[in-house]
């Protein structure tokens, strides 16, 4: 993973990748001091990243084998987490690499009572099993096509040729709960299996006994009914009960989250010590803007506008993250902030992730600002040299007070005379590189970052703990929830008839496709093909437009403005319309191949409808796949069940984990070893209170 340079907008990539949980000398002792660790084993451990006692003790068991809970396959309850002792019957074929869809790996196991299918979809980790391998295996038992199945089970080989042979007997005959260090696959390959690992851990625990110093006061832990740090370490490795194991893990998680919050607080303090422009509240422009609107600001908008206004008055640069669900009215909040800066004589840059969105912002801002005698400028790639030169000069001299643009704003030759505020819209769509360039440009400048991917509070606190966070938790009044339904492709005629019905009532609609054009490598429907087919078929009576990323800027702009003006009834599009497109008369969206899209993206797409007073509809069309069906069904069902972006974000986070949820590791989130942002959300608040309130 390439390391990002330092930035204040996202987390600081220089943050310790692993947070210290066991601080102090005791944890820092070399692993070679543990009995049983000689030169050879020490080398193996070091290669697996275990150099100190802390490294060893914080490799928590990934799973516990509870002997009393091992069940025969036939008796195992469907839908629940089960632990089984099995023998590989048919190892199956490891899928060969192919372009496009990859078949799942299927392994059939048995235990005398019955057989079970284990499947690994793309990305799953498995060994090349051989028939006869003995495994301790656990996971959630499902049924698929009338057969018992576990997807992506956790497993551990329990028959081996080295010192762990006989482990099966050991598992069967050892009472209590046994830690499985399944994550030590790399160690396993080098001959250090769970059993050997357990011995090392036991030895290490006795070495640290009595010497562990916690960063979180034990009284705070006790207040959460959690054990001391030392007791927690014991419990987590050798738990007297499942509950004690979990409490132990949570105590360690609390310690880890505390260090995370300390780090975030340090960054915030650093920022607060920087000097920035103090911008007085607006006396003229903001009140005039608000007066001219034909609606009232929501209470949430008013609150956030005030928060930002008071930030701008400070003498250190603002770093505020505004997150609000799609349609919550972030633009207006941004506009108020911009006007405050402009009135005080500063320049404002507004940056959007796509040209379509930059265009749209430009038009919105222009229509709201021009009656007040202000005119924004638009800077983006592909402009004629003369136009560009003129814009750059205007920015450099300060003649231009408000510049809307794409990341073209970040190019080297772009300079400002008195930049006071940078507004970044839909920041999650920018790459790390672009965000950094922006920061370099706006070092001591007030920055407002907006995102419509609602981030659950737990994530916001850990990832953006150094930013101030505002939430627009209220939609403008009169919005009806978008009625969302999941349909199969054989209902296509009725779906199109429904779209036609909406159009004949004067409404407009979007048909969204996963790809631009047809290709031989996949059998996905494409926007181009659908546009051809529908124009002369089911929707021939209506005015259709085609919009995708490969059109020229001019073509895109023309299609968008015709749709916005009502000169097109239906927009056949790819996901280029995902963000920012704002046409209140559009009331229906059909998303083809909804199974291909992620939850956040679907929610964003759906946010394009339901922006007016009319009832709005979103129809998800899913094409059956032989793999991952449970996963996409869960996503699409969640989407049908709620309109609430925060709830969906939580589901998404739970399903995908923070790394992927935030757009892979790009986000630079310090890696949490122990804490789980979903499970331990409550502890995050406790850790934050402890970290911010203490001087340790």
> Of the ranges 36-44, 289-297, 303-311, 639-647, which one interacts with ligand ADP (CB under 6 A)?
289-297
Q: Which stretch binds ligand ADP (CB under 6 A): 329-337, 339-347, 413-421, 592-600?
A: 329-337
Query: Strand order in 483-487's β-sheet?
Result: 483-487, 617-621, 586-592, 508-512, 570-573, 544-547
Q: Report the residue number, 61 or 610, with the smaller CB distance to ligand ADP.
A: 610
In the complex, least distance from residue 297 CB atom to ligand ADP, rounded to whole angstroms = 5
The least CB distance from residue 472 to ligand ADP, in Å, is 7
Radius of gyration of the chain (CA): 29
Q: How many residues bind ligand ADP, per CB under 6 A?
A: 18
Q: Which residues pair with 508 in a beta bridge?
A: 586
Report d(CA 240, CA 679) in Å as an integer.
Answer: 22
Instruction: Name residue 554's beta-bridge partners.
Output: none
Complex with ligand ADP: residue 131 or 293, whichever CB lies closer: 293
Token pair 């009232």: residue: 296
The CB-of-330 to ligand ADP minimum distance in angstroms stands at: 3
Binding residue (CB under 6 A) for ligand ADP from 29, 83, 151, 328: 328
List 611, 635, 650, 688, residue binding ligand ADP (CB under 6 A): 611
Closest CB 475 distance from ligand ADP, rounded Å? 8
- Whichever of 364 and 383 has its CB closer to ligand ADP, that residue is 364
Dihedral, CA of residue 235, residue 241, residue 245 and residue 250, to nearest 10: -110
- Position among 92, 104, 276, 329 found at the interface with ligand ADP (CB under 6 A): 329
E strands in 67-161: 81-90, 105-110, 115-120, 134-144, 147-151, 154-157
Q: Residue 158 or residue 564: which is nearer to ligand ADP going by CB?
A: 564
CB of 612 to ligand ADP, least distance (A): 8
Residue 56 or 326 having the CB closest to ligand ADP: 326
Instruction: Name beta bridge partners: 544.
Output: 570
- Closer Cβ to ligand ADP, 84 or 326, answer by number: 326
Stretch that binds ligand ADP, among 13-21, 291-299, 385-393, 666-674 (CB under 6 A): 291-299
Question: Least CB distance from residue 351 to ligand ADP, whole Å?
Answer: 14
Nearest approach, Cβ of residue 419 and ligand ADP (Å): 23
Q: Which of 482, 495, 527, 520 is nearest to 641 (CA)?
A: 482
**Contacting range for ligand ADP; rule: CB under 6 A; set: 164-172, 295-303, 398-406, 407-415:** 295-303
- The binder of ligand ADP chosen from 117, 251, 330, 380 (CB under 6 A): 330
CA distance 331 to 337: 10
* Interacting positions 46-85 with ligand ADP (CB under 6 A): none
Q: In this complex, which beta carbon is closest to ligand ADP, that of residue 154 or of residue 325? A: 325
Alpha-carbon distance of 430 to 351, in angstroms, equals: 10
In the region spanning residues 566 to 585, those forming contacts with ligand ADP, defined by CB under 6 A, are: 582, 584
CA–CA–CA angle 52, 54, 55 (5° rounding): 65
Q: Are strands 63-66 and 177-180 parallel, antiparallel or unpaired?
A: antiparallel
- What is the rounded distance in angstroms from the CA atom of residue 556 to the CA atom of residue 539? 21
Cα dihedral: 361, 362, 367, 368 (round 10): 60
User: Which residue in the set 57, 332, 432, 602 belongs to the binding site for ligand ADP (CB under 6 A)?
Assistant: 332
Among the listed residues 327, 645, 658, 670, the single contact to ligand ADP using CB under 6 A: 327
* Shortest Å distance, C-beta 410 to ligand ADP: 22
Contact 639, 603 (CB under 8 A): yes
Tokens for 571? Answer: 């927009």
Minimal distance in Å, beta carbon 583 to ligand ADP? 9
Taking a C-beta distance cutoff of 8 angstroms, is the pair 647, 635 a contact?
no
Minimal distance, residue 301 CB to ligand ADP, in Å: 6
The C-alpha atoms of residue 66 and residue 63 are separated, in whole angstroms, by 9
Using the rule CB under 6 A, give the single segment among 80-88, 211-219, 327-335, 672-680 that binds ligand ADP: 327-335
> Taking CB under 6 A as the criterion, which residues in 441-470 touch ligand ADP?
452
Binding status of residue 297 toward ligand ADP by CB under 6 A: yes
Among 227, 324, 454, 670, binds ligand ADP (CB under 6 A): 324
Residue nearer to ligand ADP on the CB measure, 357 or 687: 357
Report the alpha-carbon distance of residue 144 to residue 149 in Å, rounded: 6
Buried b (16+ CB within 10 A) or exposed e, 27-44: bebebeebeebeeebbeb
Work out which of 149, 188, 331, 451 binds ligand ADP, going by CB under 6 A. Answer: 331
Please give the Cα distance from 158 to 135 (Å, whole number).
5
CA distance 80 to 142: 8
Nearer to ligand ADP, 544 or 584 (CB): 584
476 binds ligand ADP (CB under 6 A): yes
* C-alpha–C-alpha distance, residues 493 and 490, integer Å: 8
Contact range with ligand ADP by CB under 6 A, out of 125-133, 320-328, 488-496, 497-505: 320-328
Q: Which is nearer to ligand ADP, 48 or 333 (CB)?
A: 333
Q: Does position 301 bind ligand ADP by CB under 6 A? A: yes
> Is there a contact between 421 and 341 (Cβ–Cβ < 8 Å)?
yes
Strand order in the sheet with 468-472: 377-379, 402-405, 347-351, 419-424, 446-451, 319-324, 468-472
Q: Toward ligand ADP, which CB reaches closer, 250 or 361? A: 361
Residues near ligand ADP (CB under 6 A) are 295-298, 301, 324, 326-332, 452, 476, 582, 584, 611
């Amino acid at each position: 993973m390439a390391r990002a340079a330092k930035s204040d907008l996202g987390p600081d990539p220089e943050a310790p990748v692993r947070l210290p949980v066991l601080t102090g000398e005791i944890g820092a002792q070399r692993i070679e001091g543990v009995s049983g660790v000689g030169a050879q084993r020490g080398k193996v451990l070091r290669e697996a990243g275990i150099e100190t006692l802390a490294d060893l003790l914080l490799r928590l068991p990934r799973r516990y084998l509870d002997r009393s809970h091992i069940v025969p396959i036939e008796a195992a309850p469907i839908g629940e987490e089960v632990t089984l002792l099995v023998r590989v019957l048919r190892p199956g074929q490891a899928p060969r690499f192919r372009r496009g869809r990859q078949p799942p790996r299927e392994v059939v196991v048995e235990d005398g009572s019955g057989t079970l299918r284990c499947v690994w979809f793309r990305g799953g980790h498995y060994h090349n099993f051989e028939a006869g391998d003995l495994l301790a295996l656990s996971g959630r038992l499902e049924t698929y096509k009338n057969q018992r199945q576990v997807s992506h089970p956790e497993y551990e080989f329990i028959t081996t040729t080295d010192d762990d042979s006989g482990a099966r007997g050991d598992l069967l005959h050892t009472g209590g709960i046994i830690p499985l260090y399944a994550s030590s696959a790399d160690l396993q390959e080098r001959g250090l299996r769970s059993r050997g690992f357990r011995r090392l851990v036991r030895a290490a625990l006795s070495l640290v006994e009595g010497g562990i110093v916690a960063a979180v006061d034990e009284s705070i832990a006790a207040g959460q009914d959690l054990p001391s740090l030392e007791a927690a370490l014991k419990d987590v490795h050798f738990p007297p009960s499942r509950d004690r194991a979990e409490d132990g893990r949570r105590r360690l998680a609390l310690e880890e989250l505390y260090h995370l919050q300390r780090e975030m607080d340090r960054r915030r303090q650093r920022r607060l010590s920087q000097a920035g422009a103090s911008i007085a509240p607006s006396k003229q422009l903001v009140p005039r803007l608000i007066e001219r609107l034909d609606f009232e600001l929501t209470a949430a908008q008013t609150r956030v506008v005030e928060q930002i206004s008071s930030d701008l008055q400070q003498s250190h640069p603002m770093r505020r993250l505004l997150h609000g669900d799609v349609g919550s009215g972030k633009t207006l909040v941004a506009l108020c902030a911009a006007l405050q800066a402009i009135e005080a004589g500063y320049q404002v840059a507004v940056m959007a992730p796509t040209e379509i969105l930059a265009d749209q912002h430009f038009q919105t801002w222009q229509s709201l600002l021009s009656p007040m005698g202000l005119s924004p400028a638009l800077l983006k790639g592909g402009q004629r040299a003369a136009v560009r030169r003129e814009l750059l000069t205007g920015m450099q001299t300060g003649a231009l007070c408000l510049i809307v643009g794409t990341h073209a704003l970040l190019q080297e030759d772009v300079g400002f005379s008195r930049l006071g505020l940078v507004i970044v819209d839909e920041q999650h769509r920018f790459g790390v590189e672009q965000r950094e360039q922006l920061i370099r440009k706006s070092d001591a400048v007030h920055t407002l970052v907006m995102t419509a991917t609602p981030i659950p509070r737990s994530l916001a606190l850990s990832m953006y703990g150094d930013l101030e966070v505002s939430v627009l938790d209220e939609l403008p009044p009169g919005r009806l929830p978008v009625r969302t339904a999941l349909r199969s492709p054989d209902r296509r005629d009725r779906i199109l008839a429904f779209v036609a019905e909406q159009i004949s009532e004067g409404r407009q609609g979007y048909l969204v496709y996963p790809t631009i054009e047809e290709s031989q490598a996949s059998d996905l429907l494409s926007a181009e093909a659908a546009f051809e087919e529908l124009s002369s078929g089911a929707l021939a009576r209506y005015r259709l437009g085609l919009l995708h990323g490969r059109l020229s800027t001019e073509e895109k702009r023309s299609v968008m403005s015709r749709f916005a003006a009502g000169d097109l009834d239906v927009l056949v599009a790819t996901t280029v319309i995902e963000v920012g497109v704002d046409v209140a008369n559009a009331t229906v969206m059909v998303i083809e191949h909804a199974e291909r899209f992620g939850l956040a993206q679907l929610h964003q797409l759906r946010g394009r409808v339901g922006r007016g007073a009319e009832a709005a509809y979103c129809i998800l069309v899913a094409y059956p796949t032989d793999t991952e069906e449970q996963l996409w069904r869960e996503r699409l069902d969640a989407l049908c069940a709620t309109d609430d972006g925060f709830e969906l974000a939580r589901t998404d986070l739970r399903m995908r984990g923070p790394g992927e949820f935030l757009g892979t590791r790009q986000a630079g989130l310090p890696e949490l070893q122990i804490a789980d942002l979903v499970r331990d959300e409550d502890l995050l608040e406790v850790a934050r209170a402890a970290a911010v309130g203490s001087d340790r």
